Amino acid sequence: MESNETIPDLKLKIELVPQTARIYSIRREVSPETWNFIRQMCYQKYSNRCGICGIEGKPLECHEMWDYHEDTCMQKFGGLIALCPDCHDVKHIGMAHIKAGNGLLDFDELIRHFCKVNQCTEKEYKQHFKDATEEYERRSKIKWNFDNDGFVENLKKSQTYHSGKGK
């Protein structure tokens, strides 16, 4: 069952990572040097623009996309996208709440960013947030298996080769 269908065609969606899926990350599986290379390639792929709102000239962040298949309990790697900090904070809205509580971001401004990108109202944002929260709660009850389509294994082979250990 997919959530967030009450507001069609959202460009920017909240993606709350299920509590039971937070242990796995591509970034944690590779060296800092390899992650830096990966994220730089991601930024180039998106021509140094945010892959959602298209803004350029702001620092970019590399976001891991995941697909959740509840029928098979499979969390599948869906790729990487370059995001501006505002779009990335929306994706991780729970962390954004913490940042806002610590005075590190203006949460109302983040909601305005969501509404501007999606050309929607604050009421529609609130409905999307509610849907995303329900999805998070449901998915957090599942023990997820991970499928990265060999992405990490290929990176590790490449990392070994490029470090001179695989020659």
Q: Are β-strands 145-147 and 74-83 bridged in parallel, bridged antiparallel, or unpaired?
A: parallel
Q: Which residue has the tokens 């290929």?
A: 154
Residue 109 three-state SS: helix
Over pLDDT 90: what percentage of the chain? 68
Which pLDDT tens digit goes with each residue over 98-130? 999 999 999 999 999 999 999 999 999 999 999
Residue 31: which pLDDT band, with cuts at 50, 70 and 90?
Answer: confident
Our count of domains for the chain comes to 1
10 falls within a domain: no
- 48 lies in a domain? yes
Report if residue 167 sits inside a domain.
no
The residue type at 154: N
| Any domain includes 77 | yes
Q: Given the DSSP bridges, would you call strands 74-83 and 61-69 parallel, antiparallel or unpaired?
A: antiparallel
Task: Note whether residue 164 is domain-resident.
Answer: no
- Domain assignment of residue 83, given as a range: 19-158
Q: Compare 18 and 148 and report the one with higher pLDDT.
A: 18
Residue 13 has pLDDT above 60, yes or no: yes
pLDDT at 160: 47
Tokens (6 digits) for 102? 């610590």
Q: Give the N- to C-terminal CA distance of the chain in Å, as an integer.
A: 47
What local confidence, expressed as pLDDT, does residue 27 receive?
Answer: 87
Report the predicted TM-score, pTM, of the whole model to 2 decimal places.
0.84
pLDDT confidence tier of residue 158, bands split at 50, 70 and 90:
low
- Domain for residue 42, yes or no? yes
Say if 39 falls within a structural domain: yes
pLDDT of residue 156: 59
Q: Tell me the three state secondary structure of residue 126.
A: helix
Q: With 90 as the cut, is the pLDDT of residue 138 above it?
A: yes
Structural tokens at position 8: 């069609």
**Is residue 74 a part of any domain in this protein?**
yes
- Which of 23, 82, 98, 12 minimizes the C-alpha distance to 50? 82
